[in-house]
Amino acid sequence: MRCLKKAGFALVLITFMVMLVLSGCGSNTSKATGDQVKTPAGTEKSVFKVGLLVPNTINDGGWSTEGYEGLKKLEKDMGVEGSYMEVKSPSDVVEGFTDYGNKGYNIVFGHSYDYQDAAKRVAPQFPKTIFITSGGTTIMDNVSPIYFQMEQAVYLMGVVAANWTKTGKVGAIGSTNMPAITKTLKAFTQGVKDTNPKVEVVTTYLGTQTDVGKGREAALAMINSGVDFFWVSANAAGQGVYEAVEQNKSKGIKTFGAYSRASAKYPDTVVADAMLDMGNAFEMVAKQVKDGTWKPGTINVGVKEDVVKFLWNEKMYPSIPQNVKDAFEKAKSDLTAGKIKIDIGAY
């Protein structure tokens, strides 16, 4: 009888252990390890990671905001794991690139022309990470620039300004004298001069991308000298120009939006917006990197790629003189047909 009890107990114990083993084998619990997710079958799913460095706050309403929106589009459309860094000093660029490289990011977008030196310095340490700069000429095995043909939209703004100005004097304000900025001021000037050589174009650089006060002062000085139309490419400092124009709208002063829908905030003074769809540009690169077809080289994007856009202020459009609209359409047609060559100088 005692032997039977022992045998019964052993049978129960063995059955219990078998159930535990079977339970463990049938588990569908996944465990994250680093940047990969391991499944019970031993398969792994890589996480595609994209980093972004911007020169100002992502709330600057311009260049940095557009870059951030591009990153959000990648997160939404491609399911990437995104991260961004607001650069405060040149050393931050090297630090940011290095940090993303150490963390195994697949792509890092350095959203400024002047980040290419840092990319050149850091990239060789992280051959599996692709570094893309917004503008520049540096090309290496894992470094390439995106060339945004923003001058196409800005040229057309010059055409509009030359046809609409009442004073015969327009202004172009840039943040700093670097190619990514100067090319738009040159395109605006060419658009004006190709349309009416007699119109005077006053150009100035603020020497800052962040000082709103300097932007306001520069615009007010130009307004006092007779300027009635503005193109501005000055990142956060450009807000000062919009404010100065808004304060003087009763005088008929107008401007154009740069890299954002400034017309939404200033519907009475911003005629049209020059926009870049960063999401389309970033996504084009990310897809190539992800499917293994990416190759180093300058990445040209413009109107054809649905990245560069000229968008009229819908509220103001009905009141825009017909001759201005006609001149715009003619210039746009010629530009698309390749009849107009925009000279931006050395880049």
Q: With bands split at pLDDT 50, 70 and 90, how would you rate the model's confidence at 45?
A: low
CA angle 293, 296, 301 (to 5 degrees): 85
The number of distinct structural domains making up the chain is: 2
Residue 323 lies inside a defined structural domain of this protein: yes
Does residue 115 fall inside a structural domain? yes
Structure tokens at 271: 């005629």
Q: Return the pLDDT at 63.
A: 86
* 86 shares a domain with 210: no
Could you tell me if residue 102 is inside a domain?
yes
Tell me: do 168 and 54 sit in the same domain. no
Residues 6+ apart with CB under 8 A from 46: 35, 36
Residues 80 and 210 in one domain: no
Averaged pLDDT for residues 137-142: 96
For residue 293, give the CATH number of its domain: 3.40.50.2300
For residue 25, pLDDT beyond 80 = no
Same domain flag for 161 and 266: yes
Buried b / exposed e along 97-113 (16+ C-beta atoms within 10 A): bbbbbeeebbbbbbbbb
* Same domain? 80 vs 121: yes
Contacts of 319 (CB under 8 A, 6+ apart): none
Residues 296 and 270 both lie in one domain = no
337: confidence class by pLDDT, cuts 50, 70, 90: confident
| 141 and 287 both lie in a single domain | yes
User: pLDDT tens-digit profile of 260-274?
Assistant: 889 999 999 999 999
Q: Do 82 and 169 share a domain, yes or no?
A: no
251 shares a domain with 266: yes
Residues 297 and 238 in one domain: no
pLDDT of res. 35? 38
Same domain, 328 and 229: yes
- Per-residue pLDDT at 280: 94
Evaluated on CA atoms 329, 347, 143, 79, the torsion sign reads: negative
99 and 165 in a single domain? The answer is: no
Nearest to 209 by CA among 112, 72, 115: 112
**CB atoms closer than 10 angstroms to residue 320:** 17
Please give the residue range of the domain that contains residue 202: 151-276+316-336
* Banded model confidence at residue 304, pLDDT cuts 50, 70, 90: confident
Note whether residue 238 is domain-resident: yes
Q: How confident is residue 93, by pLDDT bands cut at 50, 70 and 90?
A: very high
Residue 116 maps to a domain: yes
In whole angstroms, give the CA distance from residue 140 to residue 273.
34
Residue 159 has pLDDT above 80, yes or no: yes
pTM here is: 0.73
